[in-house]
């Protein structure tokens, strides 16, 4: 009798795990709710990539627990857009429970991250790819004459492509970087497809230029933000986004935001 009960329980558990992971072949772009910070999680089959890990408040672990396949303790790639703690402090939390296979940024790790296993620097033109997914690096160097290892200007800016979706990931890059990319035609109009903009610097007035919005015309604008004393997101940026026709999504209001592409 006990063996039969255990067998039934095992079958139920297997069924639940199958149900939880039944759409594992879908592409998922998840903007984690990590409070005042940034953390994006990309899942495609057994491949996972994180773009930032949020602050060191353990909230990123909840996002991973909610979305990673059961028993998967490896994250193939982590991209730190820059080394501000609200973007990378969570690496320490992640490393307690997961193996990070490769870790990239645009500049060398700053003080406090010397002991992590760092893979190397990304530069404009680099492409991280897996199956049909391509993460094309557009900028890591900031504006000429500006930017240091810990500066927002040096944020990794890239576009994540999967089928007809484009996700513009910008870290905390300021308007000057956006405008330079538009003027140099590094960022050009997308004639087809669906465009998602990860709004720069939690909706700070330092980013999200009209030039960028007029060029890429995002259908959705995701603001990763939590309770803060900086006034993020600013009314100025919210007006620009709505005038540009973007549907604004916010992690402080909606929580975790997920895009699934079949």
Mean pLDDT calculated for residue range 106-127: 93
Contact status, residue 81 vs residue 52, Cβ threshold 8 Å = yes
Contact status, residue 198 vs residue 168, Cβ threshold 8 Å = yes
At 206, the pLDDT band (50, 70, 90 cuts) reads very high
Q: What does the block give as tokens for 48?
A: 């996972």
Task: Flag whether pLDDT at 22 surpasses 60.
Answer: no
Mean pLDDT calculated for residue range 37-57: 97
Out of 54-68, 90-104, 140-154, pick the least confident: 140-154
Mean pLDDT calculated for residue range 39-45: 97
Report the pLDDT value the prediction gives residue 28, as an integer from 0 to 100.
98
Report the pLDDT value the prediction gives residue 167, as an integer from 0 to 100.
98
Report the pLDDT value the prediction gives residue 143, as an integer from 0 to 100.
63
Task: Flag whether pLDDT at 241 surpasses 50.
Answer: yes
Q: Which of 159, 137, 163, 171 is nearest to 37 (CA)?
A: 171
For 148, what's the count of Cα atoms within 13 Å in the CB-facing half-sphere?
Answer: 3
> Comparing 31 with 11, which gets the higher pLDDT?
31
Task: Flag whether pLDDT at 102 surpasses 80.
Answer: yes
At 7, the pLDDT band (50, 70, 90 cuts) reads low
Q: Mean pLDDT of all residues in the chain?
A: 90
Task: Flag whether pLDDT at 21 surpasses 80.
Answer: no
At 217, the pLDDT band (50, 70, 90 cuts) reads very high
Report the pLDDT value the prediction gives residue 147, as an integer from 0 to 100.
44
Query: pLDDT tens, 160-179?
Result: 999 999 999 999 999 999 99
- In the chain, beta strands by DSSP E: 27-31, 39-44, 47-53, 74-80, 99-105, 120-121, 127-130, 133-139, 157-162, 165-169, 194-198, 220-223, 247-250, 257-261
At 149, the pLDDT band (50, 70, 90 cuts) reads very low
> Which domains, ranges and CATH numbers included, belong to the chain?
25-261 (3.60.15.10)
Out of 39-53, 91-105, 185-199, 242-256, pick the least confident: 185-199
């Amino acid at each position: 009798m006990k063996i039969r009960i255990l067998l039934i329980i095992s079958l139920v558990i297997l069924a639940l795990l199958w149900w939880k992971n039944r759409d594992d072949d879908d592409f998922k772009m998840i903007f984690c709710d990590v409070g005042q910070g940034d953390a994006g999680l990309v899942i495609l089959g057994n491949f996972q990539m994180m773009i930032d890990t949020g602050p060191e408040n353990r909230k990123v672990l909840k996002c991973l627990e909610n979305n990673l396949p059961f028993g998967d303790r490896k994250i193939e790639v982590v991209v730190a857009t820059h080394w501000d703690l609200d973007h990378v402090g969570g690496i320490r939390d992640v490393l307690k429970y997961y193996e990070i296979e490769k870790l990239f940024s645009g500049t060398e790790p700053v003080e406090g991250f010397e002991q992590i296993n760092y893979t190397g620097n990304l530069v404009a033109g680099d492409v991280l790819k897996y199956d049909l997914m391509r993460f094309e690096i557009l900028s890591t160097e900031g504006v000429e004459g500006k930017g240091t290892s810990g500066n927002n200007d040096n944020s990794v800016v890239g576009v994540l492509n999967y089928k007809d979706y484009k996700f513009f990931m910008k870290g905390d890059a300021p308007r000057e970087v956006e405008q330079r990319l538009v003027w140099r035609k590094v960022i050009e109009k997308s004639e087809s497809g669906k465009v998602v903009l990860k709004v720069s610097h939690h909706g700070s007035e330092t980013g999200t230029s009209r030039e960028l919005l007029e060029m890429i015309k995002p259908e959705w604008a995701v603001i990763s933000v939590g309770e803060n004393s900086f006034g993020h997101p600013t009314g100025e940026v919210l007006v620009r986004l709505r005038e540009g026709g973007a549907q604004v999504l916010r992690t402080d209001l909606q929580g975790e935001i997920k895009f699934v592409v079949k």
